[in-house]
């Protein structure tokens, strides 16, 4: 058995190319069914904004044929002969290591990120539900997820936030002690604004509000989250007087919060201005009630955290290598399972046939029959025990394959892997 991994990801293709092979859940189900019909033994399809990947378990002797098939699927979806350059294909140890690195976030845009772990788990569960994932992919994915969790626990690679937005919110949380029961206003529906809403929505705020110059866009974005209140852009100054936190991230070419238009503030206000050029008048930051934080204040932290993750990733890669090596030993042993099963089956048949002849020729009571059966079974097991042990000890894959072929020919087994 061989593991294949065929991928179009952020390392090999731009967003436009990745969109061509992105799949919905329904499309993934259809593809897995088609691949099973085509003879692939096990298959999982993972599709996220940064990658679409097919993992498959196939007979070793047919790995090239199936690798070409999976590559052809991506080529067909893209409808472009030049798309081949966007496809990454690997098998065996390289494929298993790729899956482990994906699970640990070592192949992600943001090094060590957590989201991919849940996405991989979901893809595996979908394949399990439809009977597409079996012994080999189940163990590969589960061990990859277990290794990823160990990496996150032992070296905490995911704990240092990298994005300016997440760093800013962590910084605010540190200043306030907790965001629980606080009130926040987010301005803007761009990438930063949506990130801020996503982070804050997972925290126990008493109220989360957002606003945008184009009101209907604000409503569209707010509908993606629970309990986000959309307020009128014209009321932003009025709302500002009652919030604890302001996060502004618009694309406005000029300041949208002017000091002279803000009345007296009766409680502390923490502002995170993520816009360039700035959304918030610098004079507002001079008020004693206000703590104003801008992108430049946070970028140095982001760069430092990125370097920390890079250093930690070296340790993570070593942990992956060790786990993959252990997994491949299991794979190597598992390759001999089919021929061992056939050998055991043949041994059982010889045992039954022999006992049947002896029972017909020799009269024995039940106790004598049981003793004879144990002796015959023991003798036949002893005959095949050493060949099985020696076969499992072979570390070279090609040598092991040769020995399996010899055993199949000597014992007249039909070839199947």
Annotated catalytic sites, by residue? Answer: 49
Question: CB burial class (10 A; 0-12, 13-18, 19+) of residue 96?
Answer: buried
Rounded CA-CA distance 17/8 in Å is 8
Tokens (6 digits) for 108: 């992600």
Residue 294: strand pairing partners = 273
- Long-range Cβ pairs for the range 253-258 (8 Å, 24+): 253/277, 255/279, 255/280, 255/281, 256/187, 256/280, 257/281, 257/284
Residue 42: strand pairing partners = 57
Rounded CA-CA distance 64/59 in Å is 10
**Interior CA angle at 290 toward 289 and 293, to 5°?**
160
Q: Which phi and psi angles does 292 have, rounded to 5°? A: -105, 125
Among residues 243, 244, 248, the alpha carbon closest in space to that of 272 is found at 248
350: Cβ contacts below 8 Å, ≥ 6 apart: 380
Rounded to 10 deg, the angle between the 191-201 and 164-176 helix axes is 40
Rounded CA-CA distance 103/218 in Å is 34
Tokens (6 digits) for 223: 């509908």
Say if residues 256 and 248 touch (Cβ distance below 8 Å).
yes
């Amino acid at each position: 058995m061989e593991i294949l991994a065929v991928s179009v990801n952020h390392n090999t293709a731009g967003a436009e190319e990745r969109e061509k092979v992105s799949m919905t859940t329904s499309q993934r189900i259809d593809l897995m069914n088609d691949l099973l019909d085509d003879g692939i033994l096990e298959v999982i399809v993972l599709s996220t904004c940064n990658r679409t990947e097919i993992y498959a378990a196939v007979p070793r002797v047919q790995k090239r044929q199936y690798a070409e098939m999976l590559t052809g699927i991506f080529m067909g979806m893209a409808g472009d002969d030049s798309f081949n350059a966007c496809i990454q294909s690997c098998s065996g140890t390289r494929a298993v290591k790729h899956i482990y690195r994906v699970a640990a976030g070592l192949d992600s845009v943001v090094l060590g990120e957590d989201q991919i772990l849940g996405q991989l788990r979901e893809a595996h569960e979908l394949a399990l539900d439809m009977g597409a994932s079996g012994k080999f992919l189940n163990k590969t994915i589960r061990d990859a997820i277990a290794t990823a969790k160990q990496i996150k626990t032992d070296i905490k690679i995911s704990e240092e936030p990298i994005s300016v937005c997440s760093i800013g919110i962590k910084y605010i949380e540190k200043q306030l002690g907790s965001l629980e029961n606080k009130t926040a206003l987010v301005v803007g529906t761009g990438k930063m604004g949506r990130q801020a809403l996503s982070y804050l929505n997972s925290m126990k705020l008493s109220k989360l509000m957002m606003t945008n110059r184009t009101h209907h866009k604000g409503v569209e974005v707010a509908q993606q989250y629970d309990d986000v209140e959309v307020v009128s852009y014209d009321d932003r100054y009025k709302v500002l007087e009652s919030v604890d936190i302001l996060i502004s991230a618009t694309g406005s070419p000029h300041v949208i919060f002017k000091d002279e238009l803000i009345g007296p503030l009766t409680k502390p206000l923490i502002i995170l201005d993520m816009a360039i050029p700035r959304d918030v008048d610098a004079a507002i930051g001079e008020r004693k009630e206000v703590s104003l934080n801008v992108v430049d204040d946070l970028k140095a932290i982001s760069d430092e955290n990125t370097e920390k993750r890079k250093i930690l990733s070296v340790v993570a890669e070593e942990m992956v290598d060790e786990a993959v090596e252990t997994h491949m030993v299991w794979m190597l042993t598992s390759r001999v399972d089919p021929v061992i099963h056939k050998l055991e089956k043949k041994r059982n048949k010889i045992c039954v046939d022999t006992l049947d002849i002896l029972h017909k020729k020799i009269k024995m009571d039940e106790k004598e029959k049981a003793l004879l059966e144990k002796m015959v079974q023991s003798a036949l097991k002893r005959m095949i025990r050493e060949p099985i042990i020696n076969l499992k000890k072979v570390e070279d894959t090609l040598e092991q394959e040769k020995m399996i072929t010899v055993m199949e020919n000597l014992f007249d087994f039909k070839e199947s892997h």
